[in-house]
Amino acid sequence: MSFQLPKIPYEQTALSPTISKETMDFHFGKHHKAYIDNLNKLLEDSPLKSATLEEIVNKSSGGMFNNAAQAWNHTFYWYCISPNSQDYKPSDNLDKELTKSFGGKDKFLEQFSASAMGNFGSGWTWLVKDSSGKLSIVNTSNADTPITKGLIPLLTVDVWEHAYYIDYRNARKGYLDAFFKSLNWKFASERFDANEVFNCTAVMK
Ligand code: MN
């Protein structure tokens, strides 16, 4: 069975004005969908046809990798924000690690923002956990994703211009400030505790 756009846990108008309906129409409905459609087409004659999305990302290269990784990154991204973000905060476990690694949640957000601002060109900025449990912020370019390096993503922000150009034009900082106010700390905390890569396949079949 081919991959589909993920079931995201909110209405497409629910993130407005942080992310407008128009941006959802394009970013989710066109950009994300195109990566999935391209991937499905490439899988038709591939030995990876029955693999999970996570396996495809880890085993493919070239065009298949680009489309599979972008399909994965975007699905993960939609779970990192929530219209109910004001109700969520980092779990005690995650909060302790944020303090240890960055000096607390607010200091983390400053460093996350600076890293996302400095991520040149198209890419993603991530909060990840390594196999020893240590947190760090990493930037990736284009379709690259930290799951191929054995890292567990807790949060991401898409800094491709298509993520913010409709709502914020060239003001990446305005997008980041608004995005960080809508972070889904419940999701990030679950990722921290689960200690395994999020199963995007499960919400895309
Ligand atoms: Mn995008």
Strand partners, 77: none
* Cα(157) to centroid(ligand 1), Å: 9
* Cα(74) to centroid(ligand 1), Å: 6
**Domain's final residue, options 10, 45, 79:** 79
Range of the domain at 44: 21-79
Does 149 fall in a domain?
Answer: yes
* Cα(204) to centroid(ligand 1), Å: 17
* Cα(21) to centroid(ligand 1), Å: 15
Q: Which pLDDT tens digit goes with each residue over 109-124?
A: 999 999 999 999 999 9
Per the structure, the count of domains in the chain is: 2
Same domain? 71 vs 119: no
Count Cβ atoms within 10 A of the Cβ of residue 62 and give its class: 0-12 exposed, 13-18 middle, 19 or more buried.
exposed
**Domain's final residue, options 52, 79, 106:** 79
Number of H helices and E strands in the chain, helices first, is 9, 3
Does 7 fall in a domain?
Answer: no
* Cα(68) to centroid(ligand 1), Å: 13
Does 51 fall in a domain?
Answer: yes
Q: Is the peptide bond before 47 cis (omega within 30 degrees of 0)?
A: no
Does 96 fall in a domain?
Answer: yes
Same domain? 122 vs 196: yes
Q: Which pLDDT tens digit goes with each residue over 2-11?
A: 999 999 999 9
Same domain? 132 vs 148: yes
* Cα(45) to centroid(ligand 1), Å: 27
The tokens describing 38, both together, are 């391209």
Same domain? 57 vs 100: no
Same domain? 71 vs 90: no
Strand partners, 140: 124
Same domain? 104 vs 168: yes
* Cα(92) to centroid(ligand 1), Å: 31
Does 2 fall in a domain?
Answer: no
* Cα(96) to centroid(ligand 1), Å: 31
Q: Identify the pLDDT of residue 28.
A: 98
CA distance 118 to 121: 9
* Cα(112) to centroid(ligand 1), Å: 18
Q: How far is CA 33 from CA 44, 70, 71, 204, in A?
A: 17, 10, 8, 11
Q: Identify the pLDDT of residue 93.
A: 97
Q: Identify the pLDDT of residue 1.
A: 73
Same domain? 131 vs 175: yes
